[in-house]
Amino acid sequence: MIIKFFLALTFAPWLVSSAQAEWKKSEIKDEMRSETTTVFRQTEMPISGTGPEVTLMILDKDDGHPGVVLSLDKGKADGCPSLDSSFCKVSVKFDEGKVREENFSTDDGVHLVPTQVVSFAGTVTKAKRLFIEVDVKGYGPLQYKFQIEGLAVRIDRSPRIKIYGYELGESYPNLEISLQQTKSEGLDVCYSGSDVAGVVGDVKVKKINICFYNGVFYTALIIPGTKSSYEAIVKYLKSEFGKPDPDRTYPSWPDDGDKVINRSTKRAAYVTFGKNRFGDFFVISDDIVDPLIPEAPKP
């Protein structure tokens, strides 16, 4: 249903009102529902200069859950969707972050929607450049570059996850933390400690490692060490995310169910390979910031 909604907007009349940086801004008015969707779009040719144009669109109702559509003009992504599915992979890179294979949902290989749509839109609001690589039928892999700085849309950042007093996804430019710095690679800085109290409420854990990128808290790795610490962290995650995903091998949040398009921007899991193991680890991460993290330098 949500894919059809995006496609309907793709073909709706454009009422261009202004431009913001490289973004063209339009509005689509739904008079029946008294709703307005603001559409930001950019269209680019392949970096090579040959091949179909691709348009990147952000569809914003100011509800914190913007949509994203990639549309090929007079072209089709090859092998997309893949056999017996409604998905295909597209290579994506934000700023100096790692090249990632992202899942996109599509019916026709022409209009593609990222399955993690809100987190993708959120990363667009944080980045300056976006590269995508699409295998286009008749052309092979084509790369496109978008200058995306300056997009201002609201992103729903719930649930509000706090670890060791720091909120996931929030910025701490003047960080003073009572843990040992264990990593410093450009803007990517991590801290760790053993037998640390106050990680979740007054819970004490065997080990914690938390990382900040450009001052933004984006991931935590926690080894509970004891059954009581494990249970306290699970209770906290349930209180914020809800019940864990029943289809996962190990406890994971959120429970996205069978949804094709997911709106979550944060996730957590207890990565364990057996029962009653409390020396394994929780990993809690922010899906908006993570794509911005550069590849670790090779030794």
77 and 185 share a domain? no
Which residues partner with 147 through β-bridges? 129
Final residue of a domain: which of 147, 177, 203?
A: 147
Final residue of a domain: which of 93, 115, 147?
A: 147
CA 232, CA 39: separation in Å to the nearest integer?
A: 43
CA 249 to chain centre: 22
User: Does residue 287 form part of some domain?
Assistant: yes
Residue where the block lists tokens 């994971």 = 252
282 and 168 share a domain? yes
210 and 102 share a domain? no
The pLDDT tens digits along the chain (299 residues) read 344 445 544 444 444 444 444 899 999 988 888 889 999 999 999 999 999 999 999 999 999 999 999 999 999 999 888 888 888 999 999 999 999 999 999 999 999 999 999 999 999 999 999 999 999 999 999 999 999 999 999 999 999 999 999 999 999 998 989 999 999 999 999 999 999 999 999 999 999 999 999 999 999 999 999 999 999 999 999 999 999 998 888 899 999 877 888 899 999 999 998 888 999 999 999 999 999 999 877 66
User: Does residue 298 form part of some domain?
Assistant: no
200 and 268 share a domain? yes
190 and 283 share a domain? yes
pTM, whole model, 2 decimals? 0.89
8 Å CB contact between 289 and 98 = no
8 Å CB contact between 297 and 234 = no
188 and 130 share a domain? no
Residue ranges making up the domain that contains 245: 162-292
The total number of structural domains that make up the chain? 2
8 Å CB contact between 55 and 40 = no
16 and 99 share a domain? yes
Which residues partner with 220 through β-bridges? 210, 284
* CATH, residue 107: 2.60.40
